[in-house]
Amino acid sequence: MPVFFAGSWLSAVYKLSESAAIIYLPPALGIILINWWGPKRVLPAVYLNAILAGFFWGIGPWYMRPVYALPETLFVLLSWYLFTFRSHGKCWLPDARNLTLFLFWGVVVPLFASMLFLKLLIFWQMGRPIDMVSSNAILGWLREFISNFGLTLPVLYFLTPAMSRHGLLTMHIDTADVRRPFSITRSFLVGGLCLIAIVFSMFVPPEKYWFVYGILSLWFAINYGFGLAILTNSLFLLATYFGSVLDQTGEAGLYAVAPQLVNVYLGTGLLYVFSAITGRVIDDINFARQQITSQVINLERANNELKVANKELDHFVYSVSHDLTAPLKSIKGLVNLSHLTDDLDSHRTYFGKIGDSVAKLEQFIREVLDFSHIKRIEANYQRISLKELVTGILDDLRYAEGFEQVHIDHSGMLVDEIINDKISIKVVLANLIGNAIAYRKTTPGFPCEIKIRSRRRGGEVVIEVEDNGIGIRPELIKRIFEMFFRGTTNSRGSGLGLYIASEAAARIGGSLSVESEFNKGSVFTLRVKIISK
Ligand code: ADP
């Protein structure tokens, strides 16, 4: 109500006659607010204000004011019904389609209907003829159109997204299609041009040079798009137009200047509409171009990723089939050998070797499954105990070759509970600990030792697995995280372990690194971010 009332009061200041003002704000405010807050809240206020505003205007006897308030209310209602409700128009005008819908269904049609209604009322009440085409009627019509157009476009376009961000709207807006290319330099440009326009209007009569503003606004639209075009339109309207029109009407009275004013109103009004539409279309084209460019970039990126993945897959299939057939061939050979002898001891030896090959196959398949799990399934962050995890891994490794020969010290695990993806951490640690056992020094009597430590550093948890095993040659250290890379001839694995471990670390946003000295030992370090829930 206060907003509407202020609008009515301001309009009354610019009153031309008992039924006309240079600028009439309440319907424009009504359109804006009904789009923001819906008809139930806004329409009663529009109607009530129109009744009260009758006192500023003093039109007709007081008991007729509720009737005279109807055309204005109808205007706002129709605008909402035709544009927002029926056409599903977006009032923040995100594209040319919504802008034209708004101008036609949101302003032009409701304005025509409410003007006709008002004329009928005046005819019925005062017996004045219903004229909709005289210069005076067209003048009124255009005046209303320009008032609505000049205020609603910039407010709806610029303020709706801001209001939505602050939760001040009753409706939801798609922020995806809100784009505001705006810069300080451009704002200065608009300001400067408006100043020039004001000075220009002081010396040059607008009814002669009205088209200059229109052309300027069109130029703005073409170069800077919709936002600046409508802003310039509104500023030009305020800065030059109303001022000078008011001067003239003050001197000569509304009806005296009407015929020239029709041309001026019509010309500027149309130029402003065209410049707004041009600006909107230019923005849409630019936006579409940007979208296409970014889609092309994304497509190229996806294409490259696909190429890499394809190459990896080729390599993977080749190595997997090799790693699967090698133990199978050895099992086949051992079975053939066992057919050649009836000796029980030999059979035992063959079965033992077959058992080794099966274990190798099993280990390999487990690694491949781990890999597929890590690649396919999203990380599931939960509270986990590192100590429990390590105990479980050691339990699984109990029967691994050489397990009894190493002493495992996990007293350095200072951090126990963390929040992270259990499977990823387990895959990393199982590989690191398994390797530390596998690549121990096999010199008889050598005290093999593995130290597992965990601690906080900055925002990270650092987990280290240190061994005093065979170490890694410096020239190989860069390659050990590659897929299927085996660093030594006595590696019994597939060369997948560390690759999978580094993928698992990357999946949870962590990193895996190594420091190693050949013949002395290695320290593998997993760093993960501390996550708090
Ligand atoms: P795999 O153990 O199956 O060969 P990994 O990817 O686990 O494959 O390791 C790749 C290579 O890195 C191994 O072949 C080995 O040469 C080297 N490596 C890994 N861990 C250690 C370690 N703790 N000590 C020495 N060398 C290691």
Residue 57 pLDDT greater than 50, yes or no: yes
Whether residue 247 is predicted with pLDDT greater than 60 in this model: the reply is no
CA angle 257, 261, 267 (to 5 degrees): 165
CA 460/CA 526 separation, integer angstroms: 10
Chain length of the chain: 533
Q: Specify the residue for token string 């019925």.
A: 124
Residue 331, pLDDT above cutoff 80: yes
- Give me ligand 1 centre to Cα 494, in Å: 10
Ligand 1 contact, 423 CB (< 6 A) = no
How confident is the model over 120-173, as pLDDT tens digits?
888 888 777 777 777 677 777 877 888 788 889 999 998 998 888 888 888 777
| pLDDT at res. 86 | 95
Nearest CA to ligand 1 atom 2: 493
Locate the ligand 1 atom nearest the alpha carbon of residue 471 and give its number. 25
57 lines ligand 1 (CB under 6 A): no
Indicate the helix (H) or strand (E) that contains 384. strand 381-385
* Ligand 1 atom 25: residue of nearest CA: 471
How many angstroms separate the alpha carbon of residue 508 from the centre of ligand 1? 22
Taking the C-alpha atoms of residue 68 and residue 117, their distance in angstroms, rounded to an integer, is 10
Q: Given a cut of 90, is residue 23 above it in pLDDT?
A: no
Q: How far is CA 370 from CA 429, 432, 496, 514, in A?
A: 13, 14, 10, 21
Model confidence at 175, in pLDDT bands (50, 70, 90)?
low
Does any ligand 1 atom lie closer than 6 A to the CB of residue 497? yes
Q: Is 491's C-beta closer than 6 angstroms to any atom of ligand 1? A: yes
With a 6 Å cutoff on the Cβ, whether 468 touches ligand 1 is: no
Distances, alpha carbon 50 to alpha carbons 7, 43, 56, 107, 338, in Å: 11, 11, 10, 18, 106
**Which has the closest alpha carbon to 189: 157, 229, 240?**
229
296 Cα–ligand 1 center, Å? 41
Most ligand 1 atoms within 8 A of CB, residue of 361, 366, 498 to mutate: 498
CA-nearest residue, atom 17 of ligand 1: 487
State both tokens at 298.
Answer: 């994304």
DSSP secondary-structure letter at 459? T
The model's pLDDT over 35-48, given as tens digits with 9 standing for 90+, comes to 999 999 999 999 99
Confidence label for 19 from pLDDT (cuts 50, 70 and 90)? low
Tens digit of each residue's pLDDT (9 = 90 or more) over 223-236: 888 888 888 888 77
Q: 309 alpha carbon to ligand 1 midpoint, in Å?
A: 24
Read off the pLDDT of residues 367-405 as tens digits, 9 standing for 90 and up: 888 888 888 888 999 999 999 999 999 998 988 889 999
Question: Ligand 1 centre from 486 Cα, in Å?
Answer: 6
Per-residue pLDDT at 248: 52
Q: Which ligand 1 atom sits closest to the C-alpha of 367?
A: 3
- Please work out whether the CB of residue 521 comes within 6 Å of at least one atom of ligand 1: no
- Can you tell me the mean pLDDT for 468-477? 95
Residue 480 C-alpha to ligand 1 middle, in angstroms?
Answer: 6
Per the model's pLDDT, the better-predicted residue between 486 and 61 turns out to be: 486
Residue 256, pLDDT > 60, answer no
Nearest CA to ligand 1 atom 7: 497
485 pocket-lining for ligand 1 (C-beta < 6 Å): yes
The verdict on the CB of residue 466 being under 6 Å from ligand 1 is no
Distance between Cα 434 and ligand 1 center (Å): 9
